[in-house]
Structure 1
């Protein structure tokens, strides 16, 4: 999945901190219901207006002038896609019904090049995404759809709690799936902006879904990048992974629980999900640990990590000492550590954000009855804004450390932080924190 899709999904997921409404009993492959009424697509909101500003990327197709020029030639661009649509078996009737008279949603251009100044800490993501209301609702939905989950889990071997966690975080269990028409969003991006070739594929895939009769066009509403449904499939991902699990001839992830759970499971299975394995473990990292080992490239067995002094939080044993995992310490030495197993990487193929994948794994554990993380997070620590990350890099470079200069906390920046911390007599954990920046400022 594209990083544009990932940015859109994580932004959308972070806005879904609302409690879901109660649902009626449903253990088969019937439609999702809220109360006694079949859930319908949300009413469209009044369209937001494009800012009229050039995009922050500096790409020539993201200048305000280029966006206006592309918008002016939008009808011609859309008509130019007909030969490609025809080759895919999309009928002219489907093409016209969904694209004739459509106008570009230029507000998407503001989202496409958005560079948020501020980011959330791992613990802030968890606070937003793994809530008591979401845990309670998830347990209710697992009980409500137990029979369907039983069948899907037997077929694909993917933990139902992971599927329910993705469902809960992506759409609050089908109550918040986005309100932008997928065809209009992907059509806009296919003709305007810097990723036109990529989004032409997404638009054509969306039309194929409609043409095949899998999902009605009016139900295909989602994020600005075109992800749709309770677990937010991009159209091309839907084509590759969606499953008609109930055998009715349609891969309807919007209204059919069996198709939704099976399709999401199929995607994770093809991403390398290992049946019977967990996603990872909270661990206690010993003092004077060599934090250079906390790196995704350093895959060791659990037994090897134990020999280095790591132990599972709560003094519980690891179930599989021979399983391989990597160590991450998202808050440095003051916060919890995590050993991430292979299934964590499968979740990250769904969305490559470690914070997102950790939230999915933790919510899944809570849904099955597990508790909160044992160790405390450094709640008093300030998370750096983008401008502060740039300043941190500049101050490190001025001291002779090769930290980069892009405002991103990359591997290079982390290694520079570790080197500086070691030279300054600090715990060299690589955590680029607000307190570290203050020290670099000499305050």
Structure 2
């Protein structure tokens, strides 16, 4: 698999929030053909809790239409996509298409129960006319000529489509309610949902720019199923009689997991731990360099080379992918990312030079020194530029992790040079003293 596809597959968890089952092509439902009556229809918002695999970390949402008189129901899912190598390529270019499908309510609910994921239901308190409108729009959206859309994780996904549908049904009352400021930024929401896997959380944090760091409204927070669910529960809408009533007529659980926890309310406070890890990695490089010089240890040299190779891969590969995605893709959340001051294609050079150092190459030492000094300079420049308003990305956690590593590596090879010069100076001084002594001898 190409290198970019590997990065794409790692990032898939951020940009995909799809349901697991594919839709079946069936006949037009009675609410699509005009047979259903509004008073017989029921519209449900269904929220599925997050799962274990990366694409399901965000949870999922769907709408259900039920005609009680005709005893028919269907679940509408805007999270359909085709998983393939071509899909990964489209994802990497930021041009991934999703579509809406429909499926059996019972079989879909049973699937999520088998996955040990909550299935929470809210029946929407809509007028008969509003129910007909929503049901007809869903039936039209699922048609082949209407079903596809260009996916965007934050702005246009399987939940924002439900939000928009509910807003239309309520005459814009949901959007009006959601003009209030959101609880946190998109990045903070992302960090709290990805807290289940620290390495992936840090990777996703690295890949995203300041587009997700600005204050948002509750409307924008409703890209998440749980947020939309809570907003529907809180919203009071005007009924047919003009009186305010809850948008959620009633709520119940089809299944509630006895073990699975809800996502944390706040992003995890990992800053001090991340900084400690950065200091440990940078300090280890200095320690290995000192050990090698003082003892002439081959093991120390091998470990220092290995650390460079691993860091060149772990930091350089995402940095290179980020650089490429900025220039050649439509992923706007990767553009002009300040983390490129910390890790970029230059960092990837530590991989081959680290391997060469393990084999004893002296040229690799000089090259690694230049690479890490350049990265330290870029990292410091990135901090200085934060004094300017355009450089407002929330990346202090990444600075705390990566800059100490670069400083430690530069210090390791700088120490190597300093010690070499000191030893060279000691030998020269010894030589001069010996020569002076021989001249004084009779």
Q: TM-score, normalised by structure 2?
A: 0.23
Higher strand share: 2
Larger Rg: 2
Q: TM-score, normalised by structure 1?
A: 0.23
